[in-house]
């Protein structure tokens, strides 16, 4: 089966905008195809190698960020706060879980959103749905909702500005483990979890000091931690335009992001998104929801990873706390039968979305925790390894999900509800999740599993 960066165009393609001006679209895609890449193939390969270790139970993936990034929030404080909360979470995970953590942001390109309907009606007026800043504007006016090709360039530029700032912060010592105080978010002082977090930081600082007394100043890994980028590879012209060959490596790379993922609404076996993703060398995430049958998943595994390359596939399951017990086990079984070395990653957010009585989209913290807890239990019972967690979160102190240590209630949701699409964990709730995950990781670390070549845990259930 011949593959090219444009072969997806002959397939059934879902969730794409209809642009009024086809010629302008073509000019923009052409321009985007000539602009320099945002990431490099060696970074992509480095992530794949780390994910291969996560598939084998030796690392843990932390993937998180906004549901939808917006152009207006491409600001230093928003980006820095997102890095801070991801750094804090990863520190908690490394400390409690005793495994290296792979940090992957939902950032620098998370600008396109799938929608359940092409159109939205308000007070008798019908306009195209908001499909993310890469496509159109959020404001409910005809001009703003019209899909605008120039937004593809604006999105690429915003992604590039975001990544440039992240790289500078990381290189400049922001992520230096000698200075975890750089990552403090205001909430730490007031949070019910402050004491536990402080204790973790102190333990880590003591350990570093001890090692440095013994061996001299530790350079390298202590001063610099890596961040990778990811976004839903939804807008296929955007992805296609950044798909390149590189010198001295075979194949094609998506160089707009390290790890694109296929959303649940576009994972059709014969659809355009699967066709596009099968031909690139990047690690690929696949969202797996309650509608995914074992046969369908088996088909995806063959199509997306025919050579069973470790680190190539991350299966991000998102069933909901009330469905995971039924839905997950048959899928673990099919992956085992196929001898596929995948990373299993739990997204406890997207299956637990609900509306309050007053119509606000929210998620209950207890439902999120309950899905995560079950994910650990089920993988453990089936001798498989839960190798990651995928969360919608922000470094800001928003009020979008209810519950958590401070017991945010439905009435408080309106205080700071700023998401454009799905409700995110605020920084405190995100840290609380990290603490729970770290505790569960510590339990799996107690029984290190032998791992077969195909990446399956052989530990007894």
Could you list the residues that contact ligand PEP (CB under 6 A)?
67, 114, 263-265, 287, 318, 350, 422
Q: How far is the CB of 252 from ligand PEP (least distance, A)?
A: 24
DSSP, collapsed to helix, strand or coil, labels residue 77 as helix
Q: Which is nearer to Co ion, 73 or 422 (CB)?
A: 422
422 lies in the binding site for Co ion (CB under 5 A): yes
Q: Which is nearer to ligand PEP, 65 or 279 (CB)?
A: 65
55 lies in the binding site for Co ion (CB under 5 A): no
Q: How far is the CB of 353 from ligand PEP (least distance, A)?
A: 9
Pair 80, 426: CB distance under 8 Å? no
Q: Which is nearer to ligand PEP, 185 or 288 (CB)?
A: 288
Among ligand PEP, Co ion, none, partner that 264 touches (CB below 5 to 8 angstroms by kind)? ligand PEP
Pair 134, 235: CB distance under 8 Å? yes
Task: Work out which of 67, 87, 201, 331 binds Co ion, going by CB under 5 A.
Answer: 67
Q: How far is the CB of 108 from ligand PEP (least distance, A)?
A: 15
Pair 264, 232: CB distance under 8 Å? no
* Count of residues touching Co ion (by CB under 5 A): 2
Q: How far is the CB of 104 from ligand PEP (least distance, A)?
A: 13
Pair 23, 148: CB distance under 8 Å? no
69 lies in the binding site for Co ion (CB under 5 A): no
Q: How far is the CB of 9 from ligand PEP (least distance, A)?
A: 22
Pair 239, 276: CB distance under 8 Å? yes
Q: Which is nearer to ligand PEP, 193 or 346 (CB)?
A: 346
Q: How far is the CB of 3 from Co ion (least distance, A)?
A: 29
Pair 288, 331: CB distance under 8 Å? yes
Q: Is 213 left (phi over 0), alpha (psi -120 to 50) or beta?
A: alpha
Which DSSP symbol is given to 154?
H
Among Co ion, ligand PEP, none, partner that 263 touches (CB below 5 to 8 angstroms by kind)? ligand PEP
Q: How far is the CB of 262 from ligand PEP (least distance, A)?
A: 8
Q: Which is nearer to ligand PEP, 258 or 318 (CB)?
A: 318
Among ligand PEP, Co ion, none, partner that 94 touches (CB below 5 to 8 angstroms by kind)? none
Among Co ion, ligand PEP, none, partner that 287 touches (CB below 5 to 8 angstroms by kind)? ligand PEP
Q: Which is nearer to ligand PEP, 371 or 422 (CB)?
A: 422
396 lies in the binding site for Co ion (CB under 5 A): no
Among Co ion, ligand PEP, none, partner that 318 touches (CB below 5 to 8 angstroms by kind)? ligand PEP
Distance of CA 368 to the CA centre of its chain: 16
Pair 180, 201: CB distance under 8 Å? yes
| 390 DSSP β-pair partners | 63
Nearby residues of 317 by Cβ (< 8 Å), 6 or more positions away: 288, 289, 324, 327, 328, 331, 344, 345, 346, 347, 375
Among Co ion, ligand PEP, none, partner that 432 touches (CB below 5 to 8 angstroms by kind)? none
Q: How far is the CB of 67 from ligand PEP (least distance, A)?
A: 5
Q: Which is nearer to ligand PEP, 235 or 265 (CB)?
A: 265
Pair 349, 316: CB distance under 8 Å? no
Q: Which is nearer to Co ion, 422 or 428 (CB)?
A: 422
Q: Which is nearer to ligand PEP, 114 or 294 (CB)?
A: 114
Which DSSP symbol is given to 346?
E
Pair 102, 124: CB distance under 8 Å? no
Q: Which helix (H) or strand (E) holds 254?
A: strand 252-254
Q: Buried b / exposed e across 277-286, counting CB within 10 Å, b at 16+?
A: bbbbbbbbbb
Long-range contacts (CB closer than 8 Å, 24 or more residues apart) made by 136-139:
136/17, 138/70, 138/420
Residues constituting the chain:
461
DSSP 280-312: B-S-EEEEE-TT--HHHHHHHHHHH-TT--TTS
Among Co ion, ligand PEP, none, partner that 114 touches (CB below 5 to 8 angstroms by kind)? ligand PEP
Q: Which is nearer to Co ion, 275 or 392 (CB)?
A: 392
C-beta nearest to ligand PEP: residue = 263
Q: How far is the CB of 353 from Co ion (least distance, A)?
A: 8
User: Candidates 132-140, 149-157, 231-239, 415-423 — which segment interacts with Co ion by CB under 5 A?
Assistant: 415-423
**In the chain, what is the greatest distance between 2 CA atoms, to the nearest angstrom?**
72
Tally: H helices and E strands in the chain: 13, 14
Binding interface with Co ion (CB under 5 A): 67, 422
């Amino acid at each position: 089966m011949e593959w090219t960066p444009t072969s997806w165009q002959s397939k059934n393609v879902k969730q794409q905008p209809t642009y009024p001006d086809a010629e302008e679209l073509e000019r923009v895609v052409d321009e985007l195809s000539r602009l320099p890449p945002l990431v490099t193939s060696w970074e992509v390969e480095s992530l794949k190698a780390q994910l291969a270790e996560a598939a084998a139970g030796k690392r843990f993936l932390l993937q998180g960020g906004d549901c939808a990034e917006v152009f207006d929030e491409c600001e230093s404080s928003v980006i820095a706060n997102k890095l801070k909360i991801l750094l804090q979470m990863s520190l908690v995970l490394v400390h409690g879980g005793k495994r290296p953590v792979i940090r992957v942001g939902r950032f620098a390109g998370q600008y396109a959103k799938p929608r359940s309907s092409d159109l939205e009606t308000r007070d008798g007026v019908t306009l195209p749905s908001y499909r993310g800043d890469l496509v159109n504007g959020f404001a409910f006016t005809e001009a703003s909702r019209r899909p605008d090709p120039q937004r593809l360039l604006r999105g690429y530029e915003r992604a590039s500005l975001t990544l440039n700032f992240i790289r500078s912060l990381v290189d400049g010592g922001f992520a230096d483990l000698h200075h975890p105080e750089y990552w403090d978010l205001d909430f730490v002082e007031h949070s019910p979890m402050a004491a536990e977090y402080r204790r973790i930081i102190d333990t880590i600082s003591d350990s570093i000091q001890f090692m440095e007394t013994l061996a001299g100043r530790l350079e390298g890994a202590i001063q610099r931690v890596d961040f990778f980028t990811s976004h839903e590879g939804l807008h296929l012209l955007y992805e296609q335009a950044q798909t390149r060959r590189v010198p001295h490596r075979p194949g094609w790379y998506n160089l707009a992001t390290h790890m694109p993922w296929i959303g649940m609404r576009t994972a059709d076996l014969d659809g355009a998104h699967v066709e596009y993703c099968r031909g690139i060398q990047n690690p690929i995430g696949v969202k797996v929801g309650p509608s995914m049958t074992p046969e369908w998943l088996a088909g995806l595994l063959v199509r997306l990873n025919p050579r069973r390359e470790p680190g190539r596939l991350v299966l991000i399951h998102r069933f909901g706390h009330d469905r995971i017990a039924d839905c997950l086990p048959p899928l673990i079984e099919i992956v085992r039968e196929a001898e596929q070395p995948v990373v299993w990653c739990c997204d406890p957010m997207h299956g637990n979305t609900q509306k309050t009585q007053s119509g606000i989209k929210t998620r209950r913290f207890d439902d999120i925790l309950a899905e995560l807890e079950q994910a650990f239990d089920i993988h453990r019972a089936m001798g498989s390894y839960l190798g990651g967690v995928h969360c919608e979160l922000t470094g800001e102190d928003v009020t979008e999900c209810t519950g958590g240590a401070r017991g945010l209630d439905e009435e408080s949701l309106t205080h700071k509800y700023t998401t454009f699409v799905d409700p995110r964990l605020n920084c405190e709730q995100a840290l609380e999740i990290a603490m729970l995950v770290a505790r569960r990781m510590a339990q799996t670390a107690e029984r290190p599993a032998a791992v077969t070549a195909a990446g399956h845990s052989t530990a007894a259930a």
